[in-house]
Amino acid sequence: MIHGIGVDVALAPRFEEMEESLLEKMFTEKEIINAPSSRQSEYFASRFAAKEAFAKALGTGIRGFSLLDITIEENEAGKPYFALSGRAADAAAGLKLNLSISHDGGICIAMVTAEYEK
């Protein structure tokens, strides 16, 4: 059964030449290290959209946990998934999360479904 669905859109140009100190407040060290040298603005915008969509799918908004409790990783095939820690992991306990990310022309979108585990 579905607990919630979250969708968010972010514009890549907003993440161009962003101050390192601001990136460090929104993205984990692993995400910053894994950012590709090209298309960084799309990389960060899509991950920010995914974090916002996660909060919307939970129905909580970004309350009770930090953006740094959410890491977006990719499997060997390039499919994104959540690696949660701290309070974000607690908030999502018992839920199966599905994440889809897409971007085109500087527009990045993320969709998350949160389903109750059986």
Q: Is 8 annotated as a binding residue?
A: yes
In the residue annotation, 103 being an active-site residue is answered as yes
> Would you mind telling me the total number of residues written for the chain in this entry?
118
What is residue 62's predicted lDDT score, i.e. its pLDDT?
A: 86
Q: Where are the domains of the chain?
A: 2-116
**What does the DSSP 8-state code read for residue 12?**
G
The residue annotated as part of the active site, out of 30, 79, 96, 103, is: 103
Q: Output the DSSP codes for 48-95.
A: HHHHHHHHHHHTS-S-SS-GGGEEEEE-TT--EEEEE-HHHHHHTTTE
Q: What is the pTM of this model?
A: 0.95
State which fold the 2-116 domain adopts.
Ribosomal Protein L22; Chain A (3.90.470)
The residue annotated as part of the active site, out of 3, 25, 51, 56, is: 56
List CB contacts of 45: < 8 A, sequence separation 6 or more. Answer: 10, 11, 12, 14, 15, 103, 108
pLDDT tens, N- to C-terminus, the chain (118 residues): 999 999 999 999 999 989 999 999 999 999 999 999 889 999 999 999 999 999 999 998 888 899 999 999 999 999 999 999 999 999 999 999 999 999 999 999 999 999 998 7
Cα(91)–Cα(109) distance, integer angstroms: 23
In the residue annotation, 30 being an active-site residue is answered as no
φ and ψ at residue 102, rounded to 5 degrees:
-145, 155
The H or E element that residue 7 is part of is strand 2-11
